[in-house]
Structure 1
Amino acid sequence: MTIEDANPSSTYAKLLGETAKIDWQDLERFFAQGKLLSVARDLDLVSVAEAIANDDSAVVMQWLSSGLVARMPGETAADYAARKPELWAVVVSPWVCVQERA
């Protein structure tokens, strides 16, 4: 564990406190507005939100180009609507970052 891991930034701590379990039906309007970002399960949801909040474009672009973060695809939205999986979300205006939890 590094010192950074032991002492998260104030932005990370704030976003962590704002992260919550949410139902797909509560996210549908953000999907319809094109403001929903899907975050891969192997990324830390709060770290992604922090990078967006801090405008860390190099890291965000790397995630986007690798497909680890993406605007919610229609197929994924339909899957979530059908399955109703456990989802966690955090808002980094204008985006809502969402991640399925196993």
Structure 2
Amino acid sequence: MTEISSNLPETGAAALDDETLYAELVGQTARIEWPELERFFAKGQILKIAPSLDLVDVAMAMVRDRAEAVGAWRDAGEIDALDTGTARRWASGEPTLWAVVTPPWILVQESAGAPARH
């Protein structure tokens, strides 16, 4: 897989109401292992999401282009490009990782279990 693609309906996210889009994103959120992420890390396409945030809420904000919310999370350091130190730790296979695709990004969150509301 060289391209990042979302599985949102062909009509696009704009055609979906928030409740339906949220449900679609929840359905696309899954556990993921580091080997599946490694090539996207090399391309700079992974955003690390703080455990304090709801992964699907962040994906919703990005898909809906809610720049104010996304900017506030970035300014607070709750959303950031994946750094090399964290990537090395994730490569060790210890943490549980959850991801959802919002092209061109893969949003990844370290978690003790399933994301909070899923």
TM norm. shorter chain > 0.5: yes
Q: Do the aligned partners of 1:24 and 1:84 also contact (CA within 8 Å) in 2?
A: no
Matched residues, percent identical?
A: 45
- In structure 1, the partner of 2:42 is 32
Q: Is the 8 A contact 1:88 1:99 kept in 2?
A: yes
Q: Distance in 1 between matches of 2:85 and 2:27?
A: 30
Q: Deviations over 1:18-61 (max 9, x none)?
A: 00011011101111110100000010000001100000000000
Aligned to 2:92, the other structure's residue is in SS state helix
> Relative to total residues, which structure has the larger helix share, 1 or 2?
1
Number of aligned residues: 95
Q: 1:43 aligns with which of 6, 31, 53?
A: 53
Structure 2: unaligned runs, 5 residues or longer: 1-17, 113-118
Aligned pair partner of 1:89 in 99, 105, 108: 99
Deviation of 1:85 after TM superposition, in Å, equals 1.4
RMSD: 1.0
Alignment counterpart, residue 65 of structure 1, candidates 72, 75, 80: 75
Q: TM-score, normalised by structure 1?
A: 0.89
Letter in 1 for 2:106: V
Matched, 1:13 2:34: no
Shift of 1:9: 1.7
